[in-house]
Amino acid sequence: MTIGTQAQPLSGVPSRESLADKLQAVLPKIVLAPSMAITLVFTYGFIVWSLVLSFTNSRMLPNYDFIGLSNYSKLFSMDRWTVAYTNLFIFGFLFIAIAICVGTLLAILLDQKIRAEGVLRTIYLYPFALSLIVTGTAWKWILNPEIGIEKLMHDIGFTAFRFDWLVDKDMAIYTIVIAAVWQASGFVMAIMLAGLRGVDNSIIKAAQIDGATMPTIYRRIILPIMRPIFFSCFIILSHLAIKSFDLVVVLTAGGPGYSSDLPATFMYQYAFGRNQIGIGSASAMITLMGFIAILIPYLYSELRKKKHG
């Protein structure tokens, strides 16, 4: 009789360990499958559907009569679309540039280890936690000539003061910039502050030993090191600018007239307000192409960085 031998599993019968390993390998896929299916259908599926509708004569309901590029031709002949896309460039450039500048300056200020840093960081970041509806409503009150800043200055005694951008068709788009910058600057500050805290202190100390001042160190050393973070902020803010809808609807409703329209509000107005689904889908595709044109350089740089280590 042999002592100490262990019973071997029967041939062809999987052990408990192998079943557990297989289940552990398959379980994440099972858990993620519903989310992946929903994303494929309700994101990429509807993108493809919108693309198809942009080549059709769809109005109130989808109509699959193919008309080629007719909707795109009509789109670029519309004055309202020209205004909307021009406003997107104005809004996007000012919003991104000012938000990055303000957020970076706030991050540099907090990086000086000042007192009450946690309180200030919360105050600066708090606007980003608010809904765009709340932000738009608040700034609509602040910028309203009858109850806002203009009335306050008149009550103080500055009767010649004017700040009626909200009802001025040439300046209404800039009120959207003000509200958007106020909300997003704290978010940029948080990202920049994380980047600043990740810079090696030995580099700063070495520069100080060489006699460099802190402004010079930030300008010549720290900020160039943070170039990828600037680029990430640019991509995120570009995405927010292109899809801006809630803020415009609440703050100006695209007015006066359609002077502060953006592509997102234009698309909604034509697809659901005027029952022109074909033209609305075409405008959505043009907007999507604009975002992809910004996203491709970012993805290329990231893939190139990984490839070269």
The average confidence (pLDDT) of the chain is: 85
- Confidence grade of residue 93 (pLDDT, cut at 50, 70, 90): very high
Mean local confidence (pLDDT), 178-183 = 94
State whether CATH 3.10.25.10 applies to domain 78-307.
no
pLDDT at 31 over 90: no
Paired with 56 in beta bridges are: 66
Percentage with pLDDT > 90 across the chain: 27
Instruction: Give per-residue pLDDT as tens, 229-241.
Output: 888 899 889 888 9
Q: List helix spans (H) across 144-251.
A: 149-156, 172-197, 201-209, 214-217, 223-225, 227-242, 246-251
Lookup result for tokens 């720290």: 222
Q: How many CB atoms lie within 10 A of CB 45?
A: 13
pTM for the structure as a whole: 0.82
Paired with 66 in beta bridges are: 56
pLDDT at 18 over 50: yes
Instruction: Give per-residue pLDDT as tens, 131-153.
Output: 888 999 999 999 888 888 888 89
Residue type, position 34, single letter: P
Give the up-direction half-sphere exposure of residue 303: CA atoms within 13 A in the CB hemisphere: 6
Percentage with pLDDT > 70 across the chain: 93
Between 158 and 9, name the one with better pLDDT.
158
Whole-number pLDDT of residue 187: 92
- Mention every residue, 6+ apart, whose C-beta is less than 8 A from residue 277: 53, 58, 59, 60, 61, 62, 271
Of 27-31, 213-217, 248-252, which has the strongest mean pLDDT? 248-252
Mean local confidence (pLDDT), 7-35 = 70
Lookup result for tokens 């805290």: 197
Q: How far is CA 144 from CA 33, 141, 230, 250, 287, in A?
A: 49, 5, 34, 13, 31
Residue type, position 286, single letter: I
Residue ranges of the domains in the chain?
Answer: 78-307
Whole-number pLDDT of residue 1: 45
Q: In this structure, what token pair is assigned to residue 74?
A: 């009509």
Cis before residue 14, ω within 30 degrees of 0?
no
Whole-number pLDDT of residue 14: 55
pLDDT at 11 over 70: no
d(C-alpha 126, C-alpha 181), whole Å: 13
Instruction: Give per-residue pLDDT as tens, 124-134.
Output: 888 888 888 89
- Confidence grade of residue 210 (pLDDT, cut at 50, 70, 90): confident
Whole-number pLDDT of residue 160: 86
pLDDT at 308 over 70: no
Nearest to 203 by CA among 226, 219, 222: 222
Whole-number pLDDT of residue 221: 86
